[in-house]
Every structure is written in C-alpha cells, then in structure tokens.
C-alpha cells in the first residue's frame, strides 16, 4: 500500500488514497503512526471518493480513534490533491472536501499556503460535549462557556470550552507556555470526567492582539507540534474574551498558523503544508 507523508506547521500525517471503507483503518493507524515501529505521524489521513463533494477525508489518531475534525490534516490533504491530482491549479482554486463534520471549503492561496473553512464554532454543552459538574467554579456563559474552572494538582484552570467539530478546552496563562507542565496536566484534562468524548487541551499566552503563543495536548495523540482546530479554538476564545481582533497569528512549536473570525461566521484557518516523503507499507504489516 503506497502512502505519502505530509506536514503542516510540524503537524504530520500519513495519507493513503483509498475507496475501501470497511478496512480496519483504526488498527492500521496505530501501527503506521508509531514513531518507532511505523512510519510515524500524528494521524492517518484517508483520501476517498465523495458523492457530495470533490473529495472525502477521514482522519484517525495514533490511538486508533477517528477524529471528527482536523484543520492541519485538511490542509495537508488539499496540498496533496493540488500537487498530485490538480498540478495546474492556480491561486484562488477552490475545493470542497467532505468530512465527518460536514463539507469544508479549501482555497489555494499560493503554491505553499492553503486556507480552509473550519465551519462555525459551537458552544452548547451537548455540542462540545461537556457534562458540567455541580458546583463548578466560574461563570458558564451561554454562548461561549468562558472560564469554567476545574482544579488539578492544586492548580485552578479556568477553561474556555468550544467545539470546532471536535472538543477543545483552552487555558490562558500569564506565564510562558514553555513552563507549563503540559505532559502532566494535558492527559488529566483530556480524560477529565466532564468530557464524555475526551477533549483537546490548549495552553495559550497572549503576546499581542495579533499574536498568541500556544502548546497543544491532542486527544488520542498527546503533545503535538501544532493543531489546526486547536489554533481555531484558541482564536475564538481569545476573540470572545476581547483579547484580539478578527485576525491573529497562532505561534505553535512547529510553526505559525493564521486564523480569522469575525465573531459571527465561519472560522478560517491558513498556513503552509508540504509533502515530506513517499513510502510503501507492506500489506501484511
């Protein structure tokens, strides 16, 4: 089975073109994404035919779980399409990709940069989803669930809860994100009892109204160099808290992503993506 390795802001993926819907992609993702015994990646992308869009995307995490949404994965998938299937594509080319959370529009901004429509952010408890604890500290805003506080290891964490098609909990720190004990706190937030489907956790620090520093603990993957939906969730929360304007650069360990949101419409995610290498995975592996 042939595959392609791609990365966007250091968020790396294995991509396979396939029409096989019933294969054990979950088990294959666990094996292929292993960084010691496999090809190594933050997720397995499937490029599939679609009856309602130009293409269809599925994404599996390294633990085998299927993600509802993946912004950097979508940008990498579109990079593959315009490189391998539409080599004559010019800036301004628009593609529609079917995902688990609906059809998403992608725009080729340049030879290296792709902007994708990540849909509308969601804030209702059932949409995130989150089961709020009785007596939880902090105000739960009806539209944004800002500052819902949990306590871990004696540390109070005011979380800003939002769904970008997948669940996110954003914590704004006044200290450098590098000093935050993400390896300790991240797994505890991910698997906290209030999140029935687990959650992606971002620790963010505002550097200016146009720049935010972020680290991410991804559900099913652990700490990654970048996360597209995570960058969007951070920008949405920051906008609602009055920290930023409509456009912001999110600085992650693997690179920078650009997020635009006007507080009403769909969130736009932009950044670079590139093919790293190609390979062949033995069918018996």
Class of domain 2-118+272-279: alpha beta
- Span 151-174, mean pLDDT? 95
Between 47 and 148, name the one with better pLDDT.
47
| pLDDT single digits (tens) 180-221 | 999 999 999 999 999 999 999 999 999 999 999 999 999 999
Supply angle C-alpha 267, 95, 263, rounded to 5: 10
Nearest to residue 144, comparing CAs of 219, 238, 231, 216? 238
C-alpha separations of 152 from 21, 53, 149, 185, 224 in Å: 40, 44, 10, 7, 22
Nearest to residue 191, comparing CAs of 35, 63, 9, 44? 63
What is the per-residue burial (b if ≥16 Cβ within 10 Å, else e) of 12-50?
bbbbbbeeeeeeebeebbbbbbeeeebbebbbbbbbbee
Q: What local confidence, expressed as pLDDT, does residue 72 receive?
A: 97
d(CA 218, CA 263): 25
Evaluate if residue 134 carries a pLDDT over 60. Answer: no
Three-class secondary structure of residue 32 per DSSP: helix
d(CA 80, CA 12): 13
Evaluate if residue 137 carries a pLDDT over 80. Answer: no
| pLDDT single digits (tens) 222-280 | 999 999 999 999 999 999 999 999 999 999 999 999 999 999 999 999 999 999 999 99
Please answer whether residues 118 and 107 qualify as being in contact, where contact means their C-beta atoms are separated by less than 8 angstroms: no
Q: What local confidence, expressed as pLDDT, does residue 133 receive?
A: 58
Domain locations along the chain: 2-118+272-279, 148-264
Evaluate if residue 135 carries a pLDDT over 80. Answer: no
Handedness of CA 98, 101, 104, 109 (dihedral sign): negative
d(CA 137, CA 156): 9
Confidence of residue 71 (pLDDT cuts 50, 70, 90): very high
| pLDDT single digits (tens) 34-52 | 999 999 999 999 999 999 9
d(CA 85, CA 82): 6
Confidence of residue 26 (pLDDT cuts 50, 70, 90): very high
Give the residue numbers annotated as catalytic, written as ranges. Answer: 70, 227
Counting every residue written for the chain, the total comes to 285
Mean of the per-residue pLDDT values of the chain:
94
Distance separating the N- and C-terminal Cα atoms of the chain: 10
* CB contact set of 69 (below 8 Å; sequence gap of 6+): 99, 100, 101, 118, 119, 164, 165, 166, 229
Between 244 and 153, name the one with better pLDDT.
244
Q: Please give the share of the chain, as a percent, with pLDDT higher than 70.
A: 95
Confidence of residue 285 (pLDDT cuts 50, 70, 90): low
| pLDDT single digits (tens) 86-100 | 988 999 999 999 999
Confidence of residue 111 (pLDDT cuts 50, 70, 90): confident
If one looks up domain 148-264 in CATH, what number appears?
3.10.310.10
Q: Is the peptide bond preceding residue 282 cis, with omega within 30 degrees of 0?
A: no
């Amino acid at each position: 089975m042939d595959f392609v390795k791609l990365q966007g802001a250091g968020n790396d993926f294995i991509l396979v073109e396939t029409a096989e819907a019933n294969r054990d992609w979950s088990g294959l993702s666990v094996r292929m994404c292993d960084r010691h015994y496999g090809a190594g990646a933050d997720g397995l992308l499937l490029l599939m035919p679609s009856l309602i869009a130009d293409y269809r995307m599925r994404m599996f995490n390294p633990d085998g779980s299927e993600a509802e949404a993946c912004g950097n994965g979508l940008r990498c998938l579109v990079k593959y399409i315009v490189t391998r299937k539409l080599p004559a594509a010019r800036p301004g080319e628009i593609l529609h990709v079917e995902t688990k959370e609906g059809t998403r529009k992608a725009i080729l901004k340049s030879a290296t940069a792709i902007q994708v429509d990540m849909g509308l952010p969601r804030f209702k408890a059932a949409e995130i989803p989150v089961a709020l604890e009785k007596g939880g500290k902090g105000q739960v805003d009806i539209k944004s669930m800002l500052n819902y506080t949990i306590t871990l290891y004696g540390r109070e964490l005011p979380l800003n809860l939002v769904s970008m098609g997948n669940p996110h909990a954003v914590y704004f720190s006044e200290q450098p994100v590098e000093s935050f004990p993400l390896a300790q706190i991240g797994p505890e937030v991910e698997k906290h009892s209030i999140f029935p489907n687990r959650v992606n956790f971002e620790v963010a620090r505002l550097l200016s109204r146009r720049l935010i520093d972020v680290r991410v603990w991804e559900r099913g993957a652990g700490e990654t160099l970048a996360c597209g939906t995570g960058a969007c969730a951070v920008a949405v929360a920051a906008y609602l808290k009055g920290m930023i304007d409509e456009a912001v650069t999110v600085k992650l360990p693997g690179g920078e992503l650009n997020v635009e949101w006007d507080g009403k419409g769909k969130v736009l995610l932009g950044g670079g993506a590139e093919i790293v290498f190609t390979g062949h995975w033995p069918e018996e592996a």
